[in-house]
Amino acid sequence: MRLEKIRLDKFLAHHLGVSRTIIGKELRAGKVTVDDEIIKSGAYQLSLDQIVKYEDNEIKPVIGYRYFMLNKPQGYVCANQDPEYPTVLYFIDEPMADKLHVAGRLDLDTSGLVLLTDDGTWSHRITSPKYHCEKIYLVAVAQPLTTNLIEMFNQGIELRGDKEPTKPAKLVIIDDYHAELTISEGRYHQVKRMFAAVGNHVVALHRKQIGHIQLDIAEGEYRPLTQDEVESFL
Report the catalytic residues.
Answer: 107
Question: Are 224 and 66 spatial neighbours (Cβ–Cβ below 8 Å)?
Answer: yes
State the DSSP code for 98: G
CB contact at 8 A, 220 and 69? no
The rounded distance, in Å, linking the Cα atoms of 171 and 153 is: 7
Reduced to 3 states (helix: H, G, I; strand: E, B; else coil), residue 95 is coil
82 near 107, Cβ under 8 Å? no
**What count of Cα atoms within 13 Å lies in the side-chain half-sphere of residue 213?**
29
Query: Which amino acid is present at 116?
Result: L
Q: Are 193 and 160 in contact (CB under 8 A)?
A: yes
b/e map 37-64, b = 16+ CB within 10 Å: eebeebebebeeebebebeeeebeeeee
